[in-house]
Amino acid sequence: MPDLTLRDVSHRYGDRLAVDRVALTIAAGEIFCLLGPSGCGKSTTLRIAAGLEDLQQGEVCINGQRVAGTGLNLPTEARHVGMVFQDHALFPHLSVANNIAFGLSHLSTSERRKRAELWAGRVGLSGHLDVFPHRLSGGEQQRVALARALAPEPAVMLLDEPFSSLDNRLRDQIRDDTVAILKQAGTPTLLVTHDPEEAMRMADRIGIMQAGRLVQVDSPVGIYGQPTSLFAARFLSETNEIRGRVRSGLLETPLGSLSASHLADGTEALLLFRPEALAVEGAAGLDCEVVRARSLGPYRRVELRLAGAGETLLVARLAPGPLPEAGSRLRLALDLAACHIFPSS
């Protein structure tokens, strides 16, 4: 079965180490997402896999065959990869059918047309085969780019921020359609994005990159629910953080003492939890003063000041309902299972 494997891949731009010993394997039919901020090395990693950047260290294998390594660096056209980027890069002088068929020069004219019709149908553009790109919406152009990349039946698909230029509602639909198409094709896929929601919506596994290194690889559920570092936790979503000190295996905080047996006594640490870990509770809950509240449609975002925590503000994500007034008080319960404790430095 086809796969993509990177082993101990490193890359420098001058004195800057952009990719630092990255190792990953993407199986047939799997969508693997490299997630991280701008400049973390994720796009460079994709470009190395594609052959758009010369490999400096490590090894790249596609479909079990080495395509880059010591003494070998096959060009992009010899790697049998499909690529989709943020700008759709469609040929303006070619129709949808001819754009899709662009990489099929090894087929006869009739076979190219049949393949273009097949993939136009799979991306929902059967009625647009003879239309030129300037007549298409942004979402339709993205579908053509995806069909063009998949029509030659590549061994690997590489997607670099492909949906960032689309508006929110359209982006969600195109993401879901793309996942369905890639799963149907069974093509191992490397997706690069800086958007945590996109990664969790599309990927089977996510690799978080920081300063050129993979710092955590897990399923979307694992990466969100069990972050292994402050960086990973903070990058995925808004967080609440309360500072404390470990004594006798417990982290002492204004919320109470929580088990921190994995840290040495005296360690300065942070208790971290996401806004949805707070819920409205009865009289036994944490006493909080409302600072401000906003309705964001599917939930209310409420900023609170916890009694006994000085000026520390907490953020709660609560179910829809009436907005509490500033200065009013709420009693909130904290889901301890959703709490994480990390060293503060």
- CA distance between the termini of the chain: 44
Residues 291 and 219 in one domain: no
Q: Mark whether 227 and 253 lie in a shared domain.
A: no
pLDDT for 171 beyond 90: no
Mean pLDDT for the stretch of residues 240-265: 90
Query: How many domains does the chain divide into?
Result: 2
Same domain, 205 and 336: no
Q: Are residues 222 and 242 in the same domain?
A: no
HSE at residue 54, side-chain half, CA atoms within 13 A, is 5
pLDDT at 1: 62
Indicate the residue among 204, 232, 260 that finishes a domain: 232
CATH number at residue 288: 2.40.50.140
Residue of 144, 153, 197 whose CA lies nearest to 175: 197
The pLDDT of 207-231, averaged and rounded, is 96
**Statement: residue 35 has pLDDT above 70:** yes
Find all residues with CB under 8 Å of 317, minimum gap 6, and list them.
274, 275, 276, 278, 299, 300, 301, 302
Same domain, 209 and 275: no
Sheet holding 256-259, edge to edge: 256-259, 250-253, 240-247, 268-273, 340-343
pLDDT tens-place string over residues 25-34: 999 999 999 9
Q: 245 and 208: one domain?
A: no
Structure tokens at 305: 């000041």
pLDDT of 312 reads 82
Mean pLDDT of 229-244: 94
- 11 and 141 in a single domain? The answer is yes
Q: In the prediction, which pLDDT does 87 show? A: 81
Give the largest CA-CA distance in the chain: 76
Asked if residue 278 and residue 192 are part of one domain, the reply reads no
Whether residue 212 is predicted with pLDDT greater than 90 in this model: the reply is yes
pLDDT, mean of residues 209-225? 97
229: which 2 tokens?
Answer: 């570092």
| pLDDT tens-digit map of 99-143 | 999 989 899 999 999 999 999 998 989 999 999 999 999 889 989
Task: Report the SS3 class of residue 226.
Answer: coil
**What are 285-305's pLDDT values in tens digits?**
889 999 999 999 999 999 999
243 & 220 share domain: no
* 40 and 95 inside one domain: yes
pLDDT of residue 344 exceeding 90, the answer is no
Mean pLDDT over residues 48-65, rounded? 96
Beta pairing, strands 156-160 & 189-193:
parallel
Distances (CA, A) of 19 to 57, 105, 143, 294: 10, 35, 31, 41
What integer pLDDT is reported at residue 104 of this predicted model?
A: 93
pLDDT at 163: 87
| 324-335 pLDDT tens trace | 999 999 999 999
Last residue of a domain, one of 216, 232, 248: 232
Same domain for 129 and 21: yes
Domain extent, residue 316, equals: 238-343
Q: What is the pLDDT averaged over residues 82-103?
A: 92
Mean pLDDT of 207-228: 97
- pTM (global) more than 0.85: yes
The pLDDT value recorded for residue 88 is 78
Mean pLDDT of 164-181: 86
Sign of CA dihedral 310, 315, 321, 326: positive
- pLDDT over 70 (residue 2): no
Tokens standing for residue 239: 């967080």
Q: Where are the alpha helices (DSSP H) in 71-215?
A: 96-100, 109-122, 138-150, 168-185, 196-202
Q: Which of 178, 210, 232 is the last residue of a domain?
A: 232
Q: Is there a single domain that holds both residue 206 and residue 307?
A: no
pLDDT band at 165 (very low <50, low <70, confident <90, very high): confident
* CATH code (residue 204): 3.40.50.300
99 in Cβ contact with 130 (< 8 Å): no
